[in-house]
């Protein structure tokens, strides 16, 4: 039976979950996989936290150097998060000849080429299943399950915090602030929720996933990003009446004009399979030229779901002597021949507060027309004390044109406020 020694860097929520799975399922791993996996070392500032999990004092390391010099450690699991000290620790582990498993999407998205270069040099593995969509095995699916396909698109709800917030705003009629407060209370959102609600977390994940899906390096800087902090519950309610559900989507498309990658709030039809993904659950919808449509669904975060993905990487690494590296030009800039769409197209939902006066609609329609935007629907939803609420939906048009039109419309004397401008994805 093969003995495998593991070190865990960080015993927070995910690190604790990983330790729990590795220890509780130890006999299962022996029986099914022929692996005797032992946690040989942990690196954790809070010594009491480690002891409370049942880790012996002799296995609590005082430095990354102690972990890297331990001959019993074969695989290092990094679950600290952030850039530093994670980057330094992972780099030292790779240089010492240890295979690394990480759940750190920001670190991986920003420094994947650098870390992989070190892994290849030392002939060790670098695994990252847990970096995207928690316990959902999306990375392995893209690497091993979709080889027969040229992937056309990848769309997903890849951040559980924002999905919980938008679900509550839709189902309970809560404001953004009320939903965020509850998400923080339940532990879905951090005290500082910026990474989630402003779309950074989803951007890191989409960078990784679209790189794998389209077999070319898609840097974080190539992803258009917009968060949910400006979403009003009224727009969600109006969207529901029109047959739409609002989600923060990560969207990647491989088109004839190039690769398109964006993260933003999106209205989708109620019969879209992603529309039924609620609360903190995640899902990824893939379209391949051979297989057609596939959707993966599950918990996108949490101690055990994310720990499950980490342990799957540990087992995979322990059972393989040859490791996967990127099949594309994995440099900071990526392949120069890769084209990216600079100006994507979409349909749009727009809600305006305007003066209840004659000629207003004509001026608004004129601003859209001058920017080559064709209107799909226009209707007035309410009038209160001389102020009318107007909703407009457009046919597909360029993002740059919609921005020009909205600048013109905002400047009209008759327009009091642009309440919402949300993209619609079919």
Beta strand 126-127 with 75-78 is unpaired
Residue 166, C-beta contacts closer than 8 angstroms, at least 6 positions apart: 179, 228, 231, 236, 246, 247, 248, 265
Residue 198, pLDDT score: 98
User: Is 426's pLDDT higher than 90?
Assistant: no
List the Cα angle 329/332/126 in 5-degree steps. 70
Angstrom distance (rounded) from CA 115 to CA 121: 10
User: Is 158's pLDDT higher than 90?
Assistant: yes
In which domain, by residue range, is 268 found?
145-299
Residue 301, pLDDT score: 85
- Find the range with the poorest average confidence among 70-74, 251-255, 303-307: 303-307
167/242 same-domain check: yes
Angstrom distance (rounded) from CA 88 to CA 86: 6
Nearest to 118 by CA among 139, 143, 140, 99: 99
- Select which of 98, 105, 205, 222 is catalytic: 205
Residue 335, pLDDT score: 79
Does 309 fall in a domain? no
DSSP alpha helices (H): ranges in 226-359?
233-241, 303-319
User: Is 389's pLDDT higher than 90?
Assistant: yes
> What percent of the chain clears pLDDT 70, i.e. is strictly above it?
100
Residue 14, pLDDT score: 95
119/187 same-domain check: no
| Rounded mean pLDDT, 361-385 | 93
Active site residue 181: no
Does 324 fall in a domain? no
43/168 same-domain check: no
Residue 387, pLDDT score: 94
User: Is 336's pLDDT higher than 90?
Assistant: no
User: Is 199's pLDDT higher than 90?
Assistant: yes
User: Is 214's pLDDT higher than 90?
Assistant: yes
Rounded-to-5 percentages of helix, strand, coil across the chain: 40, 30, 30
128/153 same-domain check: no
The count of residues in the chain is 426
Mean pLDDT score of the chain: 96
Q: Which two tokens stand for residue 241?
A: 């009446």
- Number of domains, the chain: 3
101/163 same-domain check: no
Residue 324, pLDDT score: 85
Do 102 and 78 touch, CB atoms closer than 8 A? Answer: yes
Tens-digit pLDDT profile for residues 255-276 = 999 999 999 999 999 999 999 9
For helices 360-370 and 399-410, angle between their N-to-C axes, nearest 10 degrees:
150
Please compute Rg for the chain using Cα positions.
Answer: 24
Does 289 fall in a domain? yes
User: Is 321's pLDDT higher than 90?
Assistant: no
6/97 same-domain check: yes
Of 83, 109, 134, which closes a domain?
A: 134
Indicate the pTM of the whole model.
0.95
Tens-digit pLDDT profile for residues 18-73 = 999 999 999 999 999 999 999 999 999 999 999 999 999 999 999 999 999 999 99
| Rounded mean pLDDT, 97-115 | 97
Helix (H, G, I), strand (E, B) or coil at 424: strand
Ramachandran category for residue 68: left, alpha or beta (phi over 0 → left; psi -120 to 50 → alpha) = alpha
């Amino acid at each position: 039976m093969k003995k495998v020694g593991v070190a865990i860097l960080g015993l927070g929520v995910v690190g604790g979950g990983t330790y729990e799975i590795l220890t509780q399922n130890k006999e299962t791993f022996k029986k099914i996989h022929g692996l005797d996996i032992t946690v040989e070392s942990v690196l954790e500032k809070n010594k009491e936290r480690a002891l409370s999990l049942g880790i012996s004092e002799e296995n609590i390391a005082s430095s990354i150097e102690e972990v890297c010099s331990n001959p019993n450690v074969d695989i290092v699991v990094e679950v600290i998060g952030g850039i530093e000290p994670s980057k330094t620790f992972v780099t030292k582990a790779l240089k010492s000849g240890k295979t690394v498993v990480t759940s750190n999407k920001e670190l991986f998205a920003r420094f994947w080429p650098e870390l992989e270069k070190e892994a290849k040099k030392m002939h060790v593995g670098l695994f990252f299943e847990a970096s995207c969509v928690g316990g959902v095995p999306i990375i392995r699916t893209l690497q091993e399950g979709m080889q027969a396909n040229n992937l056309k698109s990848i769309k997903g709800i890849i951040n559980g915090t924002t999905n919980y917030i938008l679900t509550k705003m839709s189902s309970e009629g809560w404001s953004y602030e009320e939903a965020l407060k509850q998400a923080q209370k339940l532990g879905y959102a951090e005290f500082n929720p910026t990474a989630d609600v402003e779309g950074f977390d989803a951007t890191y994940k989409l960078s990784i996933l679209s790189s794998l899906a389209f077999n070319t390096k898609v840097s974080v800087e190539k992803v258009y990003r917009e968060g949910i902090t400006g979403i009003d519950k009224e727009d969600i309610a109006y969207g529901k009446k029109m047959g739409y559900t609002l989600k923060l989507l990560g969207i990647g498309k491989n088109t004839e004009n190039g690769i398109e990658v964006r993260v933003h709030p999106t209205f989708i039809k109620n019969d879209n399979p992603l529309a039924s993904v609620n609360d903190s659950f995640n899902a990824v919808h893939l379209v391949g030229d051979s297989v057609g449509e596939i959707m993966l669904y599950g918990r996108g975060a949490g101690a055990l779901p994310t720990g499950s993905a980490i342990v799957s990487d540990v087992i995979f690494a322990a059972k393989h002597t040859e490791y996967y590296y990127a099949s594309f030009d994995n440099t900071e800039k990526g392949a120069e021949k890769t084209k990216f769409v600079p100006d994507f197209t979409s349909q749009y939902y727009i809600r305006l507060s305007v003066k209840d006066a004659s000629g207003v609609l004509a001026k608004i329609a004129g601003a859209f027309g001058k920017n080559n935007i064709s209107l799909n629907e226009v209707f007035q939803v309410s009038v209160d004390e001389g102020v009318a609420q107007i909703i407009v939906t457009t046919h597909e048009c360029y993002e740059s044109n919609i921005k020009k039109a909205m600048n013109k419309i905002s400047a009209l004397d008759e327009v009091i406020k642009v309440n919402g401008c949300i993209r619609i994805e079919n």
